[in-house]
Amino acid sequence: MVVDEELVAVPARRPSRTVFVSGMVFTAVLFAIGGWRRRWIADDGLTVLRTVRNLLAGNGPVFNAGERVEVNTSTAWTYLIWFFSWLTQARLEYVVLGIALTLSVAAIVFAILGTARLWGGGVQLLLPAGALVYIAVPPARDYATSGLESSLVICWIAVLWWGLIRWSRADKTGFASILGLSFVAGLAPLIRPELTLLGTLALLMICGAPQPGIRLRPWIFRALVLATAGLVPVAYQIWQMGYYALPYPNTAVAKDAGGAKWRQGLVYLWNLIGPYWLWVPLMALGVAAVLAVRSRRIAGQAAGLAEFETKPDVRERLRRFRAWLRTPAAVVALMLASGALLTVYEIRVGGDFMHGRMLLPPLFCVLLPVMVLPLKLSAARADSRHTDRAFGIGALAVTAGWALLAANATALENGRSISTAGIADERLYYVQSTGHEHPLRAEDYLDYPRMRTMIGDLARNPNGGLLINSPSWNWQLVPPPTPNGGAGHTVYFINLGMISMNVPLDVRVLDPMGLSYPLAAHTFRFPNARIGHDKNLDSDWAVVDAGMANEYPGLPWFIDEGWVTRIRTAMNCPATRDLLASTRAPLTAGRFQRNLQQSLRYAKYRIDRVPEFEIERCQVIDRGNPGVPR
Indicate if the pLDDT at residue 495 is higher than 70.
yes
DSSP string, 30-52: HHHHHHHHT--B-HHHHHHHHHH
pLDDT in tens, 267-280: 999 999 999 999 99
Q: 302: Cβ–Cβ under 8 A, 6 or more apart, which residues?
A: 2, 324, 327, 328, 329
Nearest to 572, CA basis, from 630, 523, 626, 628: 630
pLDDT at 612: 93
Residue 375 has pLDDT above 50, yes or no: yes
How far is residue 529's CA from residue 144's CA, in Å, rounded to a whole number? 29
Q: How far apart are CA 276 and CA 402, in angstroms?
A: 9
List, as one string, the DSSP characters of 601-619: HHHH--B-SSHHHHHHHHT
DSSP annotation string for 525-571: PPTTSPTT------HHHHHHHTT---STTTS-TTS-HHHHHHHHHHT
Q: Give the number of other Cβ atoms within 10 Å of residue 306's Cβ.
A: 8
For the CA atoms of 422, 427, 428, 434, the dihedral, rounded to the nearest 10 degrees, stands at 110
Closest CA to 505 of 46, 54, 36, 34: 54
DSSP string, 54-93: HHHHTS-S-SBTTB-----S-HHHHHHHHHHHHHH---HH
d(CA 599, CA 324): 41
> Is the pLDDT at 627 greater than 60, yes or no?
no
The 10s digit of each residue's pLDDT in 128-176 is 999 999 999 999 999 999 999 999 999 999 999 999 999 999 888 889 9
Q: Over the stretch 411-433, which tens digit does the pLDDT of each residue have?
A: 766 556 677 778 999 999 999 99
Lowest mean pLDDT of 47-61, 313-327, 611-625, name the range: 611-625
Supply the pLDDT for residue 471: 85
pLDDT tens-place string over residues 328-340: 999 999 999 999 9
Q: Answer yes or no: is pLDDT of 302 > 60.
A: no
pLDDT at 371 > cutoff 90: yes
- Segment 383-392, tens digit of pLDDT: 555 666 777 8
Helix 328-349 with 150-169: angle, nearest 10 deg: 160
Confidence of residue 624 (pLDDT cuts 50, 70, 90): very low
Question: Dihedral through CA 377, CA 380, CA 386, CA 388, nearest 10?
Answer: -80
pLDDT at residue 453 in the model = 94
The Cα diameter of the chain in Å comes to 95
Give the residue, 484 or 533, on which the prediction is more confident.
533
Rg (the chain; Cα; Å): 27
pTM: 0.92
What b-and-e string marks burial along 535-565, b requiring 16 or more CB atoms within 10 Å of the CB?
Answer: bbbbbbbbbbbbebbbeeebbbeebeeebbe
Rounded Cα gap, residues 288 and 292, in angstroms? 6
Burial class (CB in 10 A: 0-12, 13-18, 19+), 37: exposed
Residues 321, 330: Cα–Cα separation, whole Å: 10
How far CA 429 is from CA of 244, 434, 504, in Å, comes to: 33, 9, 26
pLDDT digits (tens, 9 = 90+) for 567-621: 999 999 999 999 999 999 999 999 999 999 999 999 999 999 999 999 999 987 6
- Whole-angstrom Cα distance, residue 389 to residue 292? 8
Burial of 349-364, coded b for 16+ CB within 10 Å and e otherwise, reads: bbbbbbbbbbbbbbbb
DSSP state of 13: P
Q: What is the DSSP string of 310-337?
A: SPP-HHHHHHHHHHHHTSHHHHHHHHHH
Cα separation, 288 vs 473, whole angstroms: 55
Interior/surface letters 150-180, b for 16+ CB within 10 angstroms, e for the rest: bbbbbbbbbbbbbbbbbbbbeeebeeeebbe
pLDDT at 229: 96
Distance CA 288, CA 616 (A): 63
Average pLDDT over residues 271-297: 87
Instruction: Name the DSSP class of 378.
Output: S
